[in-house]
Amino acid sequence: MGEDLENEYGTLLVQDNGNTIFYKNGFYTNNDPYGVAHPITSVNAPSVVSVVHNHPRQGSIYADINLEYRYPSVDDWAAADATVALGADPNVLTMTVIDPWGDARVFEYSDRNFYLNQGVSSRENGDSLPPKVPEDADLGECVKL
């Protein structure tokens, strides 16, 4: 993702012969600060184990919206729903969000309803926030298989 702090980037983690790998070996972007289109199709959806993307900072790094961006948005969960509808396993699928500070967190699709119903103040407080993925971790090791 480099030093571009203004746009969303994404990738998919997929199962390939028992290994978790980046789909097409990398990140992609629409050069849009509010979204990225994931290349999910009915052909590759059954192998998707995590939808990964960042939430770039909005305004001041101290703005409350950035605290909410530690969590998947409503649109993020809709993308996960579409991935499941195309054949991804809802018991395996995760959403990995890289927040405006560069910290990655893994959210289980099975917890979707909880996070969708979580209030704004709860999100700003960091309630039920998954732990940060260690900086030296391989994202492929952070998904439930």
Q: pTM (2 decimals)?
A: 0.81
Has residue 144 been placed in a domain?
no
Pure H helices in 1-126? 64-68, 74-85, 112-116, 120-125
Has residue 143 been placed in a domain?
no
Residue 145 has pLDDT above 50, yes or no: no
Average pLDDT over residues 28-54: 72
Q: Which domain holds residue 92?
A: 9-134
Has residue 73 been placed in a domain?
yes
Quote the pLDDT of residue 52. 87
Has residue 140 been placed in a domain?
no
Has residue 1 been placed in a domain?
no
Has residue 99 been placed in a domain?
yes
Give the distance from CA 131 to its chain's centroid.
Answer: 14
Kindly give, in sequence order, each residue whose CB lies less than 8 Å from that of residue 97, ignoring residues fewer than 6 positions away.
Answer: 53, 54, 55, 69, 70, 71, 72, 76, 104, 105, 107
pLDDT in tens, 103-115: 899 999 999 999 9
Has residue 4 been placed in a domain?
no
d(CA 64, CA 124): 7
Has residue 29 been placed in a domain?
yes
Q: How many distinct structural domains can be found in the chain?
A: 1
